[in-house]
Amino acid sequence: MMHSPLHFLRMLAAAVFAAVCLTACFDKTLSDYNYAMEDGKIMAYDGLMPYDGKIWTDDGTSALLTFSDGMLESIEYFSAEGKRYCVLDAAGQQATFYNGAGAELQRGAFRHLYRDQYREWRRLNEEIWEVFKESSM
């Protein structure tokens, strides 16, 4: 069955429209914002305005950053299964780790029990802080 060129154009227009709608529905991610260090605190800006809300890492699953009036409050890290395994404070100094059931663990115990996850956390944490540094230069 042969379709007319008009049918093809309608299908193409529908596909483009669907792609635009899907892209617009996704939240912005870490690299879509600007960051600055102000009085020793990480600040996020959407354009010129301080950002208030949550920002995912660029993969949309590994870490969720929470900002209030532009100021970083915390970073939550998630496993590939979607379970929260760490919460880092705004200064990047205090990390609270969790096991697969959500119970709190000491850093040493987490590092011992979840070696691969701990290495991934360190890598991801360095990557996030590097985005902050690069953006604030």
pLDDT tens digits for range 61-120: 999 999 999 999 999 999 999 999 999 988 878 999 999 899 999 999 999 999 999 999
What pLDDT shows up at residue 3? 62
Residue 43 has pLDDT above 60, yes or no: yes
User: Which segments of the chain does DSSP mark as H helices, in order?
Assistant: 5-25, 107-113, 115-135
DSSP β-bridge partners for residue 58: none
Residue 78 and residue 60: Cα distance in Å, rounded? 10
Distance CA 74, CA 9 (A): 48
Q: How many angstroms separate the CA atoms of 73 and 49, rounded?
A: 17
